[in-house]
Amino acid sequence: MAYIEPAPIKDKENPLESMMERFNLAAEKLGLSDEVYNVLKNPAKQVIVSIPVTMDSGKIQVFEGIRVIHSNILGPAKGGIRFAPDVHLDEVKALAAWMTWKCAVVDIPYGGGKGGVRCNPREMSAGEIERLMRGYTKAMLDVFGPDKDIPAPDMGTGPREMAWLMDEYSRAKGTTINAVVTGKPLVLGGSLGRTEATGRGVMVTALAAMQKLKINPFQATCAVQGFGNVGSWASQLLEERGLKIVAISDISGAYHNENGINIQEAIAYRDSNKGTLEGFKGGDKLADPMDLLELDVDVLVPAAVEDVITVKNVDRIKAKLIVEGANGPTSAKADAIINEKGIMAVPDILANAGGVTVSYFEWVQNRLGYKWTAERVNRRSDRILKDAFDHVYEASQKYNVPMRIAAYIVAIDKVAKTYTFRGGF
Ligand code: NAD
For residue 330, CA distances in Å to 102, 243, 339, 343 come to: 17, 23, 12, 13
Report which of 229, 239, 296, 230 is spatially closest to residue 264, judged by C-alpha positions.
Answer: 239
3 ligand 1 Cβ < 6 A? yes
292 ligand 1 Cβ < 6 A? no
Chain segment 265-311, per-residue pLDDT in tens: 999 999 999 999 999 999 999 999 999 999 999 999 999 988 899 99
Chain segment 48-76, per-residue pLDDT in tens: 999 999 999 999 999 999 999 999 999 99
DSSP 175: S
DSSP 145: B
357 ligand 1 Cβ < 6 A? no
Q: Whose CA is nearest to atom 43 of ligand 1?
A: 6
The pLDDT assigned to 328 comes to 83
228 ligand 1 Cβ < 6 A? yes
Question: How many H helices and E strands in the chain?
Answer: 13, 12
What does the alpha-carbon distance between residue 363 and residue 92 come to, in Å, rounded to a whole number?
A: 23
pTM: 0.93
Annotated ligand binding at 381? The verdict is no
Cα angle for residues 141, 144, 147 (degrees, 5° grid): 130
Helix (H) or strand (E) holding 382: helix 374-399
234 ligand 1 Cβ < 6 A? no
Atom of ligand 1 nearest to the CA of 8: 34
For ligand 1, pick from 95, 154, 204, 230 the residue to mutate: most ligand atoms within 8 Å of CB.
230
For ligand 1, pick from 251, 252, 313, 356 the residue to mutate: most ligand atoms within 8 Å of CB.
251
Q: Residue 231: CB partners within 8 Å, gap ≥ 6?
A: 199, 224, 225, 248, 250, 301, 303, 304, 325
Please count the other Cβ atoms lying within 10 Å of the Cβ belonging to residue 126: 9
Contact (CB, 8 A) for 324 and 352: yes
Q: Is 114 a catalytic residue?
A: yes
What does the alpha-carbon distance between residue 93 and residue 67 come to, in Å, rounded to a whole number?
A: 9
Q: How far apart are the CA of 254 and the centre of ligand 1, in A?
A: 14
Q: How far apart are the CA of 29 and the centre of ligand 1, in A?
A: 32
Contact (CB, 8 A) for 191 and 303: no
Q: How far apart are the CA of 309 and the centre of ligand 1, in A?
A: 15
Cα angle for residues 171, 173, 176 (degrees, 5° grid): 65
* Structural domains in the chain plus CATH codes: 45-101+111-180 (3.40.50.10860), 191-424 (3.40.50.720)
Cα angle for residues 272, 275, 276 (degrees, 5° grid): 100
Average pLDDT, the chain: 94
Going by their DSSP bridges, the two strands 253-256 and 284-285 should be labelled as antiparallel
229 ligand 1 Cβ < 6 A? yes
The pLDDT assigned to 333 comes to 84
Q: How far apart are the CA of 32 and the centre of ligand 1, in A?
A: 35
Annotated ligand binding at 359? The verdict is yes
What does the alpha-carbon distance between residue 139 and residue 35 come to, in Å, rounded to a whole number?
A: 33
Write down the catalytic residue from 114, 184, 244, 320.
114
Edge-to-edge, what's the strand order for the sheet holding 77-84?
45-54, 60-71, 111-118, 77-84, 149-153
Chain segment 356-409, per-residue pLDDT in tens: 999 999 999 999 999 999 999 999 999 999 999 999 999 999 999 999 999 999
State the first-to-last Cα distance of the chain, in angstroms, to the nearest integer. 44
Annotated ligand binding at 157? The verdict is no
Contact (CB, 8 A) for 322 and 24: no
The pLDDT assigned to 17 comes to 67
Q: How many CA atoms lie within 13 A of 279 on its CB side?
A: 9
381 ligand 1 Cβ < 6 A? no
Annotated ligand binding at 29? The verdict is no
Could you give phi then psi for residue 313, rounded to 5 degrees? -125, -5
Of the listed ranges 33-37, 130-134, 244-248, 399-403, the one predicted with least confidence? 33-37
248 ligand 1 Cβ < 6 A? no
pLDDT tops 60 at residue 8:
no
Contact (CB, 8 A) for 179 and 107: no
pLDDT tops 50 at residue 11:
no
